Amino acid sequence: MNGPRTIDVLYAYIVVADDGTETVPAILVSDWDDLAGPVYVPLMGTDRARMNALQHLILADKQLQGKMLWLVKFETRRLVDTIEPREEITTP
């Protein structure tokens, strides 16, 4: 896609605990997007292609085996807060 893109949809895999508590987990991935080392990747993205790419990593993750996961789609965008950039702080 060319030009700026507005994020108006967010997908997330949610783990549901036995008590009904929901969390968005992150998994440790040894090789992700050509980064130098292992990184934690949150199980969320802005399109189905990203979520499909995460699926094989989820199935291989030992900490998630045996847990129920939901793929959910959030479609309401609301600006809640803005963090303005500050001037760089230098130390003497």
pLDDT in tens, the chain (92 residues): 577 788 999 999 999 888 989 999 999 887 766 667 788 889 999 999 999 989 988 988 888 888 889 999 999 999 999 998 887 777 76
25 located within any domain: yes
Whether pTM exceeds 0.75: yes
51 located within any domain: yes
Q: How many domains does the chain have?
A: 1
Residues 6 or more apart in contact with residue 31 via CB below 8 angstroms: 38
Nearest C-alpha neighbor of 13 from the set 79, 77, 57, 78: 57
Which helix (H) or strand (E) element contains residue 57? Answer: helix 48-60
80 located within any domain: no
d(C-alpha 43, C-alpha 50), whole Å = 9
The whole domain housing 59 covers 10-74
d(C-alpha 50, C-alpha 71), whole Å = 12
89 located within any domain: no
21 located within any domain: yes
